[in-house]
C-alpha cells in the first residue's frame, strides 16, 4: 500500500465510485457534545483533498451545535462491494463561506428551498407544518436565485488518524493505520484485526 494516506484514500475512493451501487461518498459522521455524549449519522462527502474532508449541513442542527462545543470528530466510509472501510479522526473547522456559497448554488432548487424550510434536528409538530414552510420558501424566492441561508454551511475534517480496513478470509483482516506528525508527514503501521 502507498505510504501516503491521502493517495491511498484517493485510490480506494475511485474504486468505490466504480463499484458501489449507491452513494460511495456516504460517510458516518460521529460527533460529541462538550460532555462527551456521542451521536452518529450519515452525511455525504462533497469534497476532499490534503486540506481535509468537506460536508455541508445546517449549523443549528445537532451536529452543528456539537461541533461548536467540541470540534473533534470521526468519519467512516464503508464500501460493502469492496469489503473495505476507512476510518478518519481529526479536528473539524468551518469551511469558508465562499466555498459554501459555491456548493449551495449547485444544489437543486428544491434542496435549496428545503434548507430554508427546515429547522434541522428541532421538534416538528407535523409533516404538514414542514410542507407549509417549504411552500412559503418557494413563494418567497419565486423568480429569483435561492441564496444560501446564513445558518447553513460547510465543515472540513482535518485528519490526524487514518485507518484502512480490508476484509480477508477467516477474519484475518488487514488494518493499516496512519498517524499525523507535526511536520505534515505520517507514521504508519499495522493493527491486529
Extents of the domains making up the chain = 5-106+152-191
Q: Which of 107, 109, 92, 108 is nearest to 154 (CA)?
A: 92
pLDDT tens, position by position, 6-40: 999 999 999 999 999 999 999 999 999 999 999 99
> The domain 5-106+152-191: what is its CATH number?
2.30.110.10
User: Cα–chain-centroid distance for residue 152?
Assistant: 14
SS3 114: helix
| Active site residues per annotation | 171
pTM (whole model) above 0.85: yes
Residue pLDDT, tens place only, 95-151: 999 999 999 999 999 999 999 999 988 889 999 999 999 999 999 999 999 999 999
Amino acid at each position: 500500500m502507498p505510504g501516503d494516506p491521502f493517495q491511498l484514500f484517493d485510490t480506494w475512493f475511485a474504486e468505490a465510485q466504480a463499484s458501489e451501487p449507491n452513494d460511495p461518498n456516504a460517510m458516518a459522521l460521529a460527533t460529541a457534545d462538550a460532555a462527551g455524549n456521542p451521536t452518529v449519522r450519515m452525511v455525504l462527502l462533497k469534497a476532499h483533498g490534503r486540506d481535509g474532508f468537506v460536508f455541508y449541513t445546517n449549523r443549528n442542527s445537532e451536529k452543528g451545535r456539537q461541533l461548536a462545543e467540541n470540534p473533534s470528530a470521526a468519519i467512516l466510509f464503508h464500501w460493502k462491494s469492496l469489503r473495505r472501510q476507512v476510518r478518519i479522526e481529526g479536528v473539524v473547522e468551518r469551511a469558508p463561506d465562499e466555498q459554501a456559497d459555491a456548493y449551495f448554488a449547485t444544489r437543486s432548487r428544491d434542496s435549496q428551498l428545503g434548507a430554508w424550510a427546515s429547522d434541522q434536528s428541532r421538534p416538528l409538530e407535523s409533516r404538514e407544518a414542514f410542507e407549509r414552510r417549504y411552500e412559503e420558501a418557494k413563494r418567497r424566492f419565486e423568480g429569483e436565485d435561492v441564496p444560501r441561508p446564513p445558518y447553513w454551511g460547510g465543515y472540513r475534517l482535518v485528519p490526524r488518524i487514518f485507518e484502512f480496513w480490508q476484509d480477508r478470509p477467516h477474519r484475518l483482516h488487514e488494518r493499516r493505520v496512519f498517524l499525523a506528525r507535526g511536520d505534515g508527514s505520517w507514521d504508519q503501521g499495522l493493527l491486529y484485526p
